[in-house]
């Protein structure tokens, strides 16, 4: 993958429709995508030598997306606030140029607003996967 400008990365929100359309969220400043797979410990009294045993079939997958942006669209900003207050599970796409796209249902677990006296208003959100998510290579 060639070097990419951060502004080329996109976080898109789904509209919840039957044939879901995704819209880019605000003016992005930073984005971080973290994925992990937590193993499932199946250690029991019969485990060999008291050694920990892990279920080899995978474990629990989780994705977290942290995003900082500039307010640009009142409707999207309102949707984020409403979803946060309600704990709504909504589909998002995280687009990483020349790499691929993560798609899945996420819940907003943190929502921050910030502004300086003579600076643009910004917000930060953290999304945590709340259902299955997938990756499609570019």
Q: Where are the domains of the chain?
A: 6-137
Residue 96: the pLDDT is 85
Q: What is the mean pLDDT of the chain?
A: 85
Asked if residue 1 has pLDDT above 70, the reply is: no
Long-range pairs for 121-125 at CB < 8 Å and ≥24 separation? Answer: 121/70, 121/71, 122/29, 122/68, 122/69, 122/70, 122/71, 123/26, 123/68, 123/69, 123/71, 123/77, 123/80, 124/66, 124/67, 124/68, 124/69, 125/66, 125/67, 125/80, 125/84
Task: Judge whether residue 119 has pLDDT over 80.
Answer: yes
CA 118 to chain centre: 30
State the CATH class of domain 6-137. few secondary structures
Quickly state the pLDDT bin for 64 (edges 50, 70, 90): very high
CB 106 within 8 A of CB 129: yes
Give yes or no for a contact between 26 and 72, defined as CB atoms under 8 angstroms apart: yes
């Amino acid at each position: 993958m060639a070097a990419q400008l951060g502004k080329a990365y996109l976080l898109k929100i789904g509209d919840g429709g039957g044939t879901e359309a995704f819209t880019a969220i605000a003016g992005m400043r930073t984005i971080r995508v973290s994925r992990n797979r937590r193993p499932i410990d199946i250690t029991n009294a019969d485990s060999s030598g008291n050694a920990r045993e892990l279920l080899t079939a995978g474990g629990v997958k989780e994705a977290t997306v942290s995003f900082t942006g500039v307010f640009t669209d009142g409707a999207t900003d309102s949707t984020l606030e409403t979803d946060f207050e309600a704990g709504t599970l909504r589909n998002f796409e995280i687009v990483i140029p020349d790499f691929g796209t993560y798609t899945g249902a996420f819940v907003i677990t943190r929502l921050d607003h910030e502004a300086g006296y003579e600076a643009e208003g910004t917000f930060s959100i953290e999304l945590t996967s709340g259902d299955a998510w997938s990756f499609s290579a570019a």
